[in-house]
Amino acid sequence: MSNIKLDELLISLSRALDLLSPKVSEHHHRVTLIAMRLGEGLGLSEEDRVKLFRTALFHDIGVVTSKDKLMIMDFFYTASSAHTAYGRTLLNESSFFTDISDLVFHHHDRWLGPNKSEVIKDDIPLISQIVGLADRIEVLLTSDKYILIQQEPILKKISEFTGTWFNPKLIEQLKKSSRPEYFWLDLSDRFLHEKVEALAPGKEVYLSLDDVLSIVQIFTLLVDNKSRFMKTHSQSVHELTMKLAAARNFNDEDLKKIKIASLMHDLGKLSIPDDILEKPSVLTKEEYNIIKRHPYYTCQIIRSVKGLEEISHWASTHHERLNGSGYPFKLKGDDVPLAARIIAVADVFTALHEDRPYRKKLPKEQAIRLLEQQAKQELLDGEIVETLKKVIAD
Ligand SMILES: [Fe+2]
Ligand SMILES: [Fe+2]
Ligand SMILES: [Fe+2]
């Protein structure tokens, strides 16, 4: 039986949503902690607590650009439905999330409206109301001041909107739940992750690799949507990887792992600012150094999930090169796993054959010539480049 835990994967993927800027670090995890404390106090059923947990973990999944991300961190952000609507659309792509997609859609609805969703008061799902309140509390927190000094002013600020933005019943609960100091102390970075893990409700659910695939597909869409130049990148790399892998003797389980690794290879790009991804000229050394962190982040996010260690290794070594000149682990020769060498060939070919902000896409023949050169220089695996030539010719 698989040892991949659903909650571990969800907690880890939620963290990936906050990689972009240190200013918004751990927003989703803190919102989850606050929301779960409120849910406990309100006596929600176990089924509702499961939904609350997941809604909080992914409530801002629809935020695409760095600019949007900073905008929604402003307390007075006037909710445009863009990220809530896109969040709902994305979540509907996986059967694991359809039951929370509407809850995410409503998380910025205000008690008295007006709301784009056209519902107000008790017609707004309670779970969305709780996440919405937790979200506005979280954006008021600052790492510059000791947490217990912030307790009073935050509660005061939130209370000003009782009955207009927030359901009075929830504010009453907030006052009760947040009285003990631990409510606030838990929110500091130091113990946050242990707390989020400990609050995961429901029974332990274990996932098959097909389940993992269904969940991570959403993140592939999210990564590809970050830049118009990558619109289909992960998907295309994935398709080509599978054609190249078919020419080798992988067993079914390994093929599934390669599938997941190729779909997730650029997950860490969620940490790269849009202006770098969209820059219309060649990157500076400093910008290139920022790009270099993406496979490292891919590794960190997936590796923390037990059972996905190998997938994490394959996904995060796609920029390693056989002569040891790649990044970020400086692996060499046979230490670069075969699956990663396949993804690397698919990745380089796909990138050359796609438009970039600073150049048009190269014709296939020219791209192949460049790949052959890279194989000669011991960057890419020559045998895989040969397979690619056959695959492309078919
Ligand atoms: Fe939001
Ligand atoms: Fe949020
Ligand atoms: Fe990459």
The Å distance, Cα 284 to ligand 3 centre, comes to: 17
| 182 pLDDT above the threshold of 70 | yes
Helix (H, G, I), strand (E, B) or coil at 216: helix
What's the pLDDT at 1? 62
The Å distance, Cα 343 to ligand 3 centre, comes to: 10
| 148 pLDDT above the threshold of 70 | yes
The Å distance, Cα 78 to ligand 1 centre, comes to: 10
| 21 pLDDT above the threshold of 80 | no
Helix (H) or strand (E) holding 344: helix 338-352
Distance (Å, rounded) from C-alpha 363 to C-alpha 214? 33
The Å distance, Cα 180 to ligand 1 centre, comes to: 27
The Å distance, Cα 301 to ligand 3 centre, comes to: 15
Helix (H) or strand (E) holding 206: strand 206-207
Distance (Å, rounded) from C-alpha 341 to C-alpha 319? 9
Every domain range in the chain assigned CATH 1.10.3210.10: 4-199, 209-393
Q: What is the pLDDT of residues 25-78, one digit of tens each?
A: 899 999 999 999 999 999 999 999 999 999 999 999 999 877 788 888 888 886
The Å distance, Cα 160 to ligand 1 centre, comes to: 20
- Can you tell me the mean pLDDT for 307-333? 98
The Å distance, Cα 89 to ligand 3 centre, comes to: 26
For ligand 2, a single-atom ion, which residues have Cβ within 5 Å? 60, 135
pTM: 0.94
Ligand number, closest to the Cα atom of 79: 1
| 188 pLDDT above the threshold of 80 | yes
> Which of 254, 181, 260, 185 is CA-nearest to residue 216?
260
What's the pLDDT at 201? 93
> What dotted CATH number matches 209-393?
1.10.3210.10
> What dotted CATH number matches 4-199?
1.10.3210.10
Instruction: Give the model's confidence band at 81: pLDDT under 50 very low, under 70 low, under 90 confident, else very high.
Output: low
- Can you tell me the mean pLDDT for 6-21? 91
The Å distance, Cα 333 to ligand 1 centre, comes to: 45
What's the pLDDT at 393? 86
Query: Both tokens of residue 93?
Result: 């792509």
Ligand number, closest to the Cα atom of 104: 1
**C-alpha atoms less than 13 angstroms from C-alpha of 362 in its C-beta half-sphere:** 14
Average pLDDT, the chain: 93
DSSP 237: H
Distance (Å, rounded) from C-alpha 351 to C-alpha 149? 50
Ligand number, closest to the Cα atom of 346: 3
Burial of 70 (0-12, 13-18, 19+ CB in 10 A): middle
For ligand 3, a single-atom ion, which residues have Cβ within 5 Å? 266
Cα dihedral: 46, 49, 50, 56 (round 10): 180
| 265 pLDDT above the threshold of 80 | yes
Higher pLDDT residue, 9 or 193? 9
Task: State the residue for tokens 């695959």.
Answer: 391
